[in-house]
């Protein structure tokens, strides 16, 4: 399904998509056209889900991140489903994971300021009857931020 060439290409692409086919070809040991053909296949088959720009939070004005642990009142399927939809709709929620353990969801939230975060908690957490409890951890340092997974 995925051979060593594909994995090399994916490893390069998940750190930088701006390399030319020629640069890729030298790195993986394949001709430029073969590299591009493989890349397009990886896009079509959904192995590459998206190609996106990573922005500097500092450059966008001082910006706060929070990790929020959320416990729902009851784990009813319809409540869960509604909550997930709401998280996907809400731009402040950068990431949302449904997890096992003492809490149900972990959110990564990005806001411009503390008052924005207060507004967010009011709108989405306090006013949500399905939420039993939530706990905010303020991010002091984004030590490592990315989406790159280890391949092989």
Residues contributing to the site for a copy of itself (CB under 8 A) = 2, 10, 13-18, 45-57, 59-60, 63, 65, 67, 84, 87-88, 91-103, 105-106, 108, 110-111, 135-151
Q: Which is nearer to a copy of itself, 17 or 122 (CB)?
A: 17
Query: What does 22 interact with, of a copy of itself, DNA, none (CB < 5 to 8 A by kind)?
Result: DNA
| Residue labelled with tokens 């009851």 | 74
Which partner from the list DNA, a copy of itself, none does 21 bind, CB cut-off 5 to 8 Å by kind?
A: DNA
Grouping H, G, I as helix, E, B as strand and the rest as coil, residue 43 is helix
Residue 106 phi, psi (nearest 5): -115, 125
Nearer to DNA, 39 or 66 (CB): 39
Q: Is 101 exposed, middle or buried (0-12, 13-18, 19+ CB in 10 A)?
A: exposed
Q: Which helix (H) or strand (E) holds 57?
A: none
């Amino acid at each position: 399904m995925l051979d060593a060439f594909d994995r090399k290409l994916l490893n390069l692409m998940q750190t930088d998509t701006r390399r030319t086919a020629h640069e890729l070809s030298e790195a993986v040991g394949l001709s430029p056209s073969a590299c591009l053909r493989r890349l397009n296949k990886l896009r079509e088959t959904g192995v590459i889900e998206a190609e996106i720009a990573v922005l500097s939070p500092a450059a966008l004005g001082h910006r706060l991140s929070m990790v929020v642990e959320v416990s729902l009142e009851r784990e009813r399927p319809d409540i869960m489903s509604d909550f997930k939809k709401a998280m996907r709709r809400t731009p402040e929620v950068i990431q949302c994971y449904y997890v096992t353990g003492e809490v149900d969801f972990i959110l990564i939230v990005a806001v411009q300021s503390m008052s924005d975060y207060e507004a967010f908690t009011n709108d989405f957490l306090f006013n949500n009857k399905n939420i039993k409890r939530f706990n905010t951890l303020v991010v002091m340092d984004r030590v490592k931020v990315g989406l790159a997974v280890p391949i092989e």
